[in-house]
């Protein structure tokens, strides 16, 4: 299957649109015990037996800590104008409280200088799941004190780098930290306690609100927001049970975070079904959580397909599935954003992650990943449909710049536009990288032609 575009539809993205790629610290940096970095919960988790499918860890990963200059060169060659990355909290503050590690901050200063030299906007995420292990030892996100440590960390990063980055996101996908990290145990710290997951979700949201206030207090010029992973929930059939399941899934996964941030409460449906018996909420928590945000980052990969049958009915997957087993469902992105726009007064939106794992093979220095090209094309078409409805979408970041440590899947799953040979750390452009570069170039050219035509 090949999807083609007419030239006239290719100009639908605004001239000011942000085109980027994204990564996260633990997945690419390596240098796990170098220059004073403290261990994070992912160091601990990945070194425990049986937690990572291929038995690997992030000790070396893509060795980005030593190869950042080369990686920034590659980002620039993609033709994008932005790079989204996260900071390793335990690299800059080894125990999550107390002394700062200047060698850690120096690394990010060098990275930011390299990006600036190439004219690339930096979009920084403060927390992409790698809590300092020392804080976990004190209860982690179940301990309310962690929220205040996080706010102090946010303020320090904003004070140092707030004038060098285009945006700062507090959290990446708090749903994953809460549910996968504490509800099912698939992710660090590996806790399987649904009640704990609910409490953790609240503390993550509280820490976000406290961090927003702390960063605003140091007058940062950077735009401030949060990144949420979101999806539509489709009932498998028209049965009342399937419809109820879909409604509950959406309430639990999307509205739980959106309602807290934008409405200062949790959705009644999700609260009714949550294991909230031990949920501790202090009097002013929602006032703290409901801080105005400058942007909302949305990570979208697929939809939830909800079936009450045993075994559950599966979707038809007309456009196929990726290497993670996730259905390609681009119209879900349009449905999601249109629905959010209707329900909440949204600030500017960035698609901060969207991408596809493919079982890539490097052959003769090339990687032919046509399914990934089609996936991106289809989702950019879905985004065009959103923009056409007047929704303020400012940018798109492909996940990921390069193949990396894919959490509990280890190195077995490849999401990158750059192929990484982990034995040699050689990076190679996949066909999708070349396609993305050409697509962005064509976008710019069409705007340049339009500009000339106006004069």
pLDDT band per the 50, 70, 90 thresholds, residue 5? very low
In the annotated binding site, the residues are: 27, 128, 172, 301, 399, 406-407
Percentages of the chain per state (helix, strand, coil), in multiples of 5: 45, 15, 40
Please report, to the nearest 10 degrees, the dihedral formed by the alpha carbons of residues 381, 384, 389, 395 taken in order: 130
pLDDT at site 420: 98
The conformational region for residue 29 under phi > 0 = left, psi -120 to 50 = alpha, else beta, is: alpha
| 353 is a catalytic site residue | yes
pLDDT in tens, 339-353: 999 999 899 999 999
Rounded to 10°, the helix 145-161/194-217 angle is: 40
- Establish if 357 belongs to a structural domain: yes
Q: How many domains would you assign to the chain?
A: 1
Examine the pLDDT at 256 and tell me if it is beyond 60.
yes
Task: Over range 408-429, report the average pLDDT.
Answer: 98
pLDDT in tens, 63-76: 999 999 999 999 99
Task: Over range 304-327, report the average pLDDT.
Answer: 97
pLDDT band per the 50, 70, 90 thresholds, residue 296? very high
pLDDT at site 451: 72
Task: From the candidates 173, 249, 327, 335, give the one annotated as an active-site residue.
Answer: 173
The neighbouring-strand residues paired with 353 are 299
pLDDT band per the 50, 70, 90 thresholds, residue 100? very high
Cβ contacts of residue 269 below 8 Å, gap of 6+?
Answer: 247, 248, 251, 255
- Establish if 6 belongs to a structural domain: no
- Establish if 3 belongs to a structural domain: no
Contacts 24+ apart (CB under 8 A), 362-370: 362/419, 362/421, 362/428, 365/428, 366/428, 366/430, 366/431, 367/419, 367/428, 367/429, 367/430, 367/431, 368/430, 368/431, 369/430, 369/431, 369/432, 370/2, 370/431
Cβ contacts of residue 298 below 8 Å, gap of 6+?
Answer: 227, 228, 229, 230, 336, 337, 340, 349, 350, 351, 352
Q: Is the peptide bond before 311 cis (omega within 30 degrees of 0)?
A: yes
Task: Over range 398-426, report the average pLDDT.
Answer: 98
In the annotated binding site for substrate, the residues are: 27, 128, 172, 301, 399, 406-407
User: What CATH number should be reported for the domain holding residue 130?
Assistant: 3.20.20.80
State the chain's mean pLDDT as an integer.
Answer: 96
pLDDT band per the 50, 70, 90 thresholds, residue 4? very low
| 374 is a catalytic site residue | no
In whole angstroms, what is the distance from residue 413 CA to residue 168 CA?
Answer: 28
Structure tokens at 325: 């087993």
pLDDT at site 3: 43
| Three-class DSSP category at 226 | strand
| Three-class DSSP category at 276 | coil
In whole angstroms, what is the distance from residue 137 CA to residue 193 CA?
Answer: 17
pLDDT at site 148: 99
Structure tokens at 270: 């999700």
The neighbouring-strand residues paired with 168 are 124, 224
pLDDT in tens, 351-392: 999 999 999 999 999 999 999 999 999 999 999 999 999 999
Range of weakest confidence among 42-51, 117-126, 270-279: 270-279
**Percent of the chain at pLDDT above 90?**
94
- Establish if 4 belongs to a structural domain: no
Examine the pLDDT at 229 and tell me if it is beyond 80.
yes
- Establish if 227 belongs to a structural domain: yes
pLDDT at site 10: 47
pLDDT at site 2: 42
Examine the pLDDT at 277 and tell me if it is beyond 80.
no
pLDDT at site 117: 98
Task: Over range 264-281, report the average pLDDT.
Answer: 92
Angle (CA) 316 320 324, round 5°: 110
- Establish if 314 belongs to a structural domain: yes
pLDDT at site 276: 78
Q: Which domain holds residue 128?
A: 18-450
pLDDT band per the 50, 70, 90 thresholds, residue 455? low
Helix (H) or strand (E) holding 426: strand 426-429
Task: From the candidates 29, 249, 335, 353, give the one annotated as an active-site residue.
Answer: 353
- Establish if 438 belongs to a structural domain: yes
- Tokens 């940018």 correspond to what residue? 395
Alpha helices in 121-267 (DSSP H): 133-136, 145-161, 174-175, 194-217, 240-250, 256-263
- Establish if 349 belongs to a structural domain: yes
Helix (H) or strand (E) holding 106: helix 102-117
């Amino acid at each position: 299957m090949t999807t083609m575009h007419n030239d006239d539809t290719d100009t639908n993205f605004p001239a000011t649109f942000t085109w980027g790629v994204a990564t996260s610290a633990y997945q690419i940096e390596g240098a796990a015990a170098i220059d004073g970095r403290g261990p994070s919960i992912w160091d601990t988790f990945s070194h425990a037996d049986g937690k990572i499918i291929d038995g690997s860890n992030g000790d070396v990963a893509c060795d980005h800590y030593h190869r950042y200059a080369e990686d920034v060169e590659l980002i620039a060659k993609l033709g994008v104008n932005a790079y989204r990355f996260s900071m390793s909290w335990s690299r800059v503050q080894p125990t999550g409280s107390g002394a700062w590690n200047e060698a850690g901050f120096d690394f990010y200063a060098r990275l930011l200088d390299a990006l600036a030299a190439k004219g690339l906007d930096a979009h920084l995420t403060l927390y992409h799941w790698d809590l300092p292990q020392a804080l976990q030892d004190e209860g982690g996100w179940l301990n309310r004190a962690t929220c205040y440590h996080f706010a102090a960390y946010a303020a320090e990063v904003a004070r140092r780098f707030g004038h060098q980055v285009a945006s700062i996101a507090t959290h990446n996908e708090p749903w994953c930290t809460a549910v996968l990290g504490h509800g099912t145990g698939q992710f660090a710290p590996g806790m399987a306690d649904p009640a704990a997951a609910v409490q953790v979700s609240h503390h993550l949201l509280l820490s976000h609100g406290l961090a927003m206030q702390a960063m605003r207090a140091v007058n940062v010029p950077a735009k401030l927001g949060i990144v949420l992973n979101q999806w539509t929930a489709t009932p498998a059939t028209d049965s009342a049970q399937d419809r109820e399941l879909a409604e509950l899934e959406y309430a639990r996964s999307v509205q739980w975070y959106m309602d807290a941030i934008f409405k200062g409460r949790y959705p009644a449906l999700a609260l009714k079904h949550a294991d909230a018996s031990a949920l501790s909420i202090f009097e002013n928590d929602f006032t703290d959580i409901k801080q105005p945000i400058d942007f909302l980052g949305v990570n979208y990969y697929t939809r939830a397909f909800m079936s009450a049958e045993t075994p559950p009915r599966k979707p038809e997957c007309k456009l196929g599935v990726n290497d993670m087993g996730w259905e390609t469902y681009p119209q879900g992105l349009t449905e999601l954003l249109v629905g959010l726009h209707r329900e909440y007064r949204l600030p500017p939106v960035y698609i901060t992650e969207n991408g596809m794992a493919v079982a890539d093979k490097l052959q003769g220095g090339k990687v032919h990943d046509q399914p990934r090209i089609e996936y991106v094309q289809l989702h950019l078409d879905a985004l065009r449909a959103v923009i056409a409805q007047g929704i303020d979408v400012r940018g798109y970041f492909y996940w990921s710049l390069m193949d990396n440590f894919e959490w509990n899947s280890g190195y077995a799953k490849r999401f990158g536009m750059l192929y990484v040979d982990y034995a040699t750390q050689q990076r190679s452009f996949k066909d999708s990288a070349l396609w993305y570069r050409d697509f962005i170039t064509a976008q710019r050219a069409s705007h340049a032609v339009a500009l000339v035509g106006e004069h």
